[in-house]
A = this chain, B = another copy of it.
Amino acid sequence: MANIKVPKAPTIRRMPTYLHKLMELHAEGAPSVSTTVLANYMNLESIVVRKDLEITGISGQPGVGYKTDELIAAIRNFLGWNNIFEACLVGAGSLGSALLGYEGFEEYGLRISLVFDADPCKIGTSVHGRKIQDISRMSELLKPGMFRLGMICVPTAYAQETADQLVANGITAIWNFANVSLQVPDGVAVQREVIAGGFALLSVKIAQLDAVKNGGE
């Protein structure tokens, strides 16, 4: 069982958002950024921002805040995003296509350069500039060492066999968008993306607002 513990998950989840803002500021020529600006952007308290960013090994300086280029480098380094992650994606349905169309990934060093599907109507066509390959050609096209990351966007029923196939072809990290728990061997990292997780968080916020409205403090 690939049971990898990641402490501070909320902090880590926020890293791409910090990075996005910092790159924006850097592009605007801002040499530094205050904790307050970041806190406002993130909708967080300043103390949380400071604690979040400590994970990268960088501490803000009183009166100066953070040097944008230094913090960008530190976040990239912390996440291992110094180099491009070459990824393949399996399942060019509506979600897979949406992910292929998402322009934010390159900013984070993720490049989806190989796309597979089993549907004869899709094979050979292009989605957002990527040609869809026949999934039966996976072992031929997934050259050893070329790809590390596989994104699974197939229907739930096919997710496990897709994972098996990816692992058999040398993929050691799986980003799973299917609504199912995958079994993978030791040494393979899996991240299951549950889109409804955000809806759960929003629902709790709604309940909190209701509690405030209906009296309480």
Contacts and interface: CB of A to CB of B under 8 A. Distances in A.
B202 A198 contact: no
Nearest to A42: B181
Interface residues of A, number: 69
Contacts of A204: 6, 12, 79-80
B80 A203 contact: yes
Contact of A209 (B12, B42, B97, B187): B187
A181 B16 contact: no
A190 B204 CA distance: 11
Contact of A194 (B13, B179, B208): B13
Copies in the complex: 2
Contact of A200 (B79, B172, B196): B79
Interface in A51-93: 79-81, 85, 93
A105 interface: yes
Nearest to A173: B206
A201 B110 contact: no
A108 B43 contact: no
Interface of A: 1-4, 6, 9-10, 12-17, 20-21, 40-45, 79-81, 85, 93-95, 97-99, 101-102, 104-105, 108, 110, 128, 148-149, 172-173, 175, 179, 181, 187-209, 213
